[in-house]
Amino acid sequence: MKMDNLLSVAQAVDLVLEYAGNFGTERIPLAEAGGRILQQVVRAERAQPPYDRVMMDGIAFRSGSGPVLVVHGTQRAGAPGQPLPEGNACLEVMTGAVLPEGTDTVVPVERLVRDGRQITFEAGYQPHAGQFIHRRGSDCAAGTELLLPGLRLNGPALAVLACNGYAEVEVSRIPSIGIVSTGDELADVEGPVQDWQIRRSNEYAIIGALTSRRFNRIEQSVVSDDLAETIVALREQLQRHDVLVLSGGVSMGAFDHVPKALSRSGVEKVFHKVAQRPGKPLWFGVGSEGQRVFGLPGNPVSAVSCAIRYVMPMLLAGQGLSRPEPYMVELDAETEQSATLVRFLPVRIRHDASGCALATPCPMPTSGDFSFLAGTDGFVELPRGEGVAAAGTHAVFHGW
Ligand SMILES: Nc1nc2c(c(=O)[nH]1)N[C@H]1C(S)=C(S)[C@@H](COP(=O)(O)OP(=O)(O)OC[C@H]3O[C@@H](n4cnc5c(N)ncnc54)[C@H](O)[C@@H]3O)O[C@H]1N2
Ligand code: MOO
């Protein structure tokens, strides 16, 4: 059958990922590093904690001394450790303070009975020697490898960087992405719109997907359905960006100039058309300087589905993240399959009482109707098959 000659989704994704490469690294201030991908080894600046540290507000004393202790001063956090005098002495201590020299045990203030400078413990209280102290180096030794390249930096990771003196951090560089909309029918988001025009929306679906994944170096541009103008615009965009994401102009129409304009701009085609619905006319190629170029089909459901299924995995792989584990969900209603095409089926996700993710199909009327899409969470990838996929079928989910 003719469709069988088309590339499968799996083959097309593999080809895109083959070209993922990486986009280099950059040093950025620590406070801007949340969500970025670490590209250096982070080592402990010194032992942590760097000193024996008091865990409770109370007193520190030498175990075995007493039973009546005399307070000789206060050891605050942020001050060098004080020596404890000989005899039945103790020091008032604060949480986080250096354990005073000569003490080995801390008793919380709630357990103390105080009379002026004299301290005894509440009736029946027996402190264990060495209690309530964070020992120097109990967290890690100096020089320990704490974080490795490839980690997505979350809050705790930023805290580890801060604690070890990393004011700047080496992370994967965010590629520069040019989003190019093609079409004479496209009008701006604001301003007048004629009866024969539509407002440009695909780039916002793509921007939403990009920025929610922290890809925020984006430039938008528009070209008309004119071959010469498209070539000029694409050559310029190729000089400015690592990745181009075009929408529209990749199917069979007399004004669908994108494949020709790309090849005349030195972009080598890797594939055109994939056995999928929506998004069959997807185009992917590589520029003369390694720029990755996606020609997304113009229909809005096709454009955003292909952005999620192909552009995002390529960008994430280029950040040094491994291929994500498939996120499986269970269909909660039967759904028609296609014998020849993989279906990207929009769904809403909910969880049953046992936590299992259930996907409610929200089939698209056509790939041009997308108002309903905003109420969905993403799509499932339904393999080719005869007839219907029964309720209970497991499928891979891709979130918007
Ligand atoms: N003879 C054939 N015609 C078509 C085929 C085919 O195989 N043979 N494939 C169809 C499929 S499937 C798709 S998908 C579309 C893809 O077409 P293009 O990529 O060439 O896109 P356009 O024709 O430029 O536009 C399609 C549709 O999308 C609207 N559009 C375009 N850009 C935007 C935008 N930025 N924001 C919102 N909407 C946009 C455009 O107005 C059209 O309605 O081709 C089929 N035809
Ligand atoms: O496959 Mo096209 O992407 O339906 O409209």
Q: What's the length of the chain?
A: 400
* Strand 328-331 versus strand 357-361 pairing type: parallel
> Which two tokens mark 363?
């089939």
Among 305, 309, 344, 367, name the best residue to mutate to test ligand 2's pocket (greatest count of ligand atoms within 8 A of Cβ): 367
In this prediction, residue 364 carries a pLDDT of 86
pLDDT, tens digit, 9 for 90 and up, residues 125-150: 999 999 999 999 999 999 999 999 99
Extents of the domains making up the chain: 9-24+174-319, 27-46+141-172, 53-134, 328-399
Owner of token pair 């930096």: 153
Q: Which CATH superfamily is domain 27-46+141-172 in?
A: Molybdopterin biosynthesis moea protein, domain 2 (3.90.105.10)
| 21 phi-psi bin (left φ>0, alpha ψ -120 to 50, beta other) | left
User: What is 328-399's CATH number, 2.40.40.20, 2.40.340.10, 3.10.20.30, 3.40.50.300?
Assistant: 2.40.340.10
- Kindly report the CATH number that applies to the domain delimited by 9-24+174-319: 3.40.980.10
343 CB less than 6 Å from ligand 2? no
Q: CB-side exposure of 238: number of CA atoms within 13 Å?
A: 24
| Euclidean distance between CA atoms 50 and 206, whole angstroms | 48
Q: How confident is the model at residue 252 (pLDDT cuts 50, 70, 90)?
A: confident
> Which two tokens mark 242?
């690592």
Among 251, 257, 370, name the best residue to mutate to test ligand 1's pocket (greatest count of ligand atoms within 8 A of Cβ): 251
In this prediction, residue 1 carries a pLDDT of 40
- pLDDT reading at 89 higher than 80: yes
367 CB less than 6 Å from ligand 2? yes
Q: Which atom of ligand 1 is nearest to the CA of 295?
A: 19
Residues in Cβ contact with 250 at an 8 Å cutoff, skipping those fewer than 6 apart:
256, 258, 259, 272, 281, 282, 283, 295, 296, 297, 298
> Which two tokens mark 312?
């995002």
| Euclidean distance between CA atoms 249 and 223, whole angstroms | 10
Q: How confident is the model at residue 4 (pLDDT cuts 50, 70, 90)?
A: low
Asked, as a colleague might, if the bond just before 324 is cis with ω within 30 of 0, I would say no
For 375, which DSSP code? Answer: G
Nearest-CA neighbor of 175 among 135, 131, 217?
217
Contact 249, 299 (CB under 8 A): no
| Euclidean distance between CA atoms 198 and 300, whole angstroms | 12
- pLDDT reading at 324 higher than 80: no
Among 299, 301, 305, 309, name the best residue to mutate to test ligand 1's pocket (greatest count of ligand atoms within 8 A of Cβ): 299
User: What is 53-134's CATH number, 1.10.10.10, 2.60.200.20, 3.40.630.30, 2.170.190.11?
Assistant: 2.170.190.11
| Euclidean distance between CA atoms 301 and 373, whole angstroms | 8
**Considering every ligand atom, which ligand is closest to the CA of 2?**
1
- pLDDT reading at 371 higher than 60: yes
ipTM, two decimals: 0.97
- pLDDT reading at 272 higher than 90: yes
In this prediction, residue 323 carries a pLDDT of 73
In this prediction, residue 365 carries a pLDDT of 87
* Reported pTM: 0.90
